[in-house]
A and B are shown apart, each in its own frame.
Chain A
Amino acid sequence: MAAPVCLEYRIEGNDFMVAGAASNNIKNTLKMLGISSSVCTRVAIIAYEAEINLVIHGGGGVLKAEITEDRVKLTAEDEGPGIADIEKAMTEGFSTATEYAREMGFGAGMGLPNIKKNSDEFNIESEVGKGTRLYSTVFFNKQ
């Protein structure tokens, strides 16, 4: 693969019904590039959870996927309320999702832990009142 493939999606806040479209697009692009299905699934999980977080918590934002020779780097960026306590947010079962989101099966407090578990490299930066940036990298040759 010569030039990197860059995909960028604007995700609208609170629009639950379109969530998954960007993740599916990223997964299909990786599949077309011949990336193994186990890696495609891991990236799909990361992308979907990040997308849902942008919808539920971030008030919308941008999801990017940069695909190079040996890795895909995902970035999710929003200008939402930010996360006061990242350690708490990373704890399985902790969620600040609304009642409505929970009724739809979101807000299990598993999104960020799912992302971390499926990433080879993971980082999250957040500032209250300013927004959140999430970085996740998956290498193609690692299983």
Chain B
Amino acid sequence: MTIGEICGFLGGEVQCTGDPGREITGAIAGDLLSFIMGAAKEGSLWITIQAHLNVAAVAVLKDLPLIIIASGRRAPDDLTERCASENIAVLSVPQSMYEVCAELARRGLNG
């Protein structure tokens, strides 16, 4: 499933479009940056409630093309600017991390 499709069915606000046609191959959820650095697989989306510049650093280094910021948090301007320059999509949604995970799993996206 593509970034565009995921943003479509989850709703929320696309703060950075990234590459909407890019296929997402997996998913990971977590707020500990070192955990994501160690465990995320390239090409996965990342669900978190962290919303600061280092989120972009981790996404760039691990090649995570979609960041979903959950629980109504929003990316600050410096984060969206960095993501825009790196072609990373940012979606902020009102749903909790759990709800986002459940919805993605229901639609067939496996971790």
Interface residue ranges, A against B (CB under 8 Å) = 16-17, 19-21, 23-24, 27, 37, 41, 44-45, 48-49, 52, 104-106, 108, 110-111, 114, 117
Residues of chain B within 8 A (CB-CB) of A45 are 37-38, 61-62
On whether the beta carbons of A24 and B61 are closer than 8 Å, the reply is yes
Q: How far is the CB of A49 from chain B (nearest CB, A)?
A: 7
On whether the beta carbons of A27 and B61 are closer than 8 Å, the reply is yes
Q: B62 touches which one: A41, A110, A111 (CB < 8 A)?
A: A41
Whether A49 touches B56, Cβ cut-off 8 Å, given contacts A41-B62, A104-B50, is: no
- Main secondary structure, interface of A, reads helix
- Sorting the interface of chain B by its residue count into under 10, 10 to 19, 20 to 34 or 35 or more gives 20 to 34
A-B pair count, CB < 8 Å, reads 70
On whether the beta carbons of B37 and A105 are closer than 8 Å, the reply is no
Q: How far is the CB of B16 from chain A (nearest CB, A)?
A: 17
On whether the beta carbons of A48 and B37 are closer than 8 Å, the reply is yes
Q: How far is the CB of B36 from chain A (nearest CB, A)?
A: 8
